[in-house]
Amino acid sequence: MPFDSKIGMIMGLTKLELVQALRGLGLVRGAVVEVHSSLSRMGHVEGGAQTVIEALMEVVGEEGAIVMPAHRVTPPLPLTETEKARGIVAKVRFLPEEDRSRSGMGVVADTFRLTPGAVLGSDIHRVCAWGRDASLHAQQGFAHLLSMDGWVLLIGVDITRCSSMHTAESRVTLPAEITAAQRVPEEIRREYPENEWYIQYEDPLRPPPGEPWLKVREEAERRGWIRRGMIGHAPSMLFKGKPVVDLYEQYLRSDPFGFFGIARRQVNDA
């Protein structure tokens, strides 16, 4: 049912309403689904993140699986004016293995990794999974979900948050000119060691963060691959992961310079 009544606004979104919205979007029992979400975009939810997780579990059941990112990084840290002037647009620190504090993955993902029955992977870019093949998902990351023709659910966030997209990058060797244009300058890397920090840097040769992935989403929508709906107040999307990731890989292979908006002469003249 639509979440637009005055009573709903006062009382908050219930688990039942979440279940109905998820099913209305097309999520079914037995589905294997990668989830990225913004709790605040949904509006007030009774019970908060735990209610969202319980609704997802009820919809897919134990014969399905839920997979979320559990990267060991802080939320974005404040930037100084000096850092901004040097081209740093975002910075996060890596967290210790056993850290239970708030991460940059959002409150739903943070709550999910502490949920009984959820299996947590290892390394910086770890994932957390619950349900069928949870251990395999935790070990293999989103590659296992894609091999099962799993789904991607984005609640209140865009495709720029879709972690499984990175699997396409591991299959392609980009031209050296492009990797050079995307590399954080050496002097910044010395100040922010790569084993402690992730730095997002922009220069004139690099498009704004996430822009190439929006091209993938636009083409996937043109092909009719993406289902759209509302979860509470949050615009949401549901789609099969593998076709979209494969489309990204095709872009990387066929015209990487055009895809990233980097002309060869710009790189060669730099």
- Compute CA 92 distance to the chain's CA centroid, rounded to the nearest angstrom: 16
The per-residue pLDDT for range 174-219, each reduced to its tens digit, is 888 888 777 889 999 999 999 999 998 887 555 554 578 999 999 9
Percent of the chain predicted with pLDDT > 90: 74
Q: What is the mean pLDDT of the chain?
A: 89
The per-residue pLDDT for range 121-175, each reduced to its tens digit, is 988 899 999 999 999 999 999 999 999 999 999 999 999 999 999 999 999 998 8
What is the rounded distance in angstroms from the CA atom of residue 36 to the CA atom of residue 18?
15
Q: Tell me, what's the pLDDT at 141?
A: 92
The per-residue pLDDT for range 67-122, each reduced to its tens digit, is 999 999 999 999 999 999 888 989 999 998 888 888 999 999 999 999 999 999 98
Instruction: Using the predicted structure, report yes or no on whether residue 58 has a pLDDT greater than 80.
Output: yes
State whether residue 114 is helix, strand or coil: coil
Going from the C-alpha of 255 to that of each of 58, 136, 252, 263, the distances in angstroms are 43, 34, 6, 11
Instruction: Using the predicted structure, report yes or no on whether residue 27 has a pLDDT greater than 70.
Output: yes
DSSP string, 84-103: HHTTEEEEEEBPPTT--S--
Q: Tell me, what's the pLDDT at 208?
A: 52
User: b/e map of 7-21 (b: 16 or more CB within 10 Å)?
Assistant: ebeeebbbbebbbbb
Q: Tell me, what's the pLDDT at 249?
A: 97
Contacts of 63 (CB under 8 A, 6+ apart): 29, 30, 131, 132
Residue extents of the structural domains in the chain: 6-259
Q: Tell me, what's the pLDDT at 270?
A: 44
Q: Tell me, what's the pLDDT at 266?
A: 47
Q: Tell me, what's the pLDDT at 265?
A: 55
Contacts of 107 (CB under 8 A, 6+ apart): 39, 48, 49
The pLDDT of 19-23, averaged and rounded, is 98
> Are the CB atoms for 242 and 248 separated by under 8 Å?
no
- Regarding beta strands 127-131 and 151-155, do their DSSP bridges make them parallel or antiparallel, or are they unpaired? unpaired
> Are the CB atoms for 68 and 112 separated by under 8 Å?
yes
Task: Kindly state the tokens that stand for 108.
Answer: 């739903």
**pLDDT class for 65, splitting at 50, 70, 90?**
very high
Task: Kindly state the tokens that stand for 102.
Answer: 């708030």
Q: Tell me, what's the pLDDT at 7?
A: 36
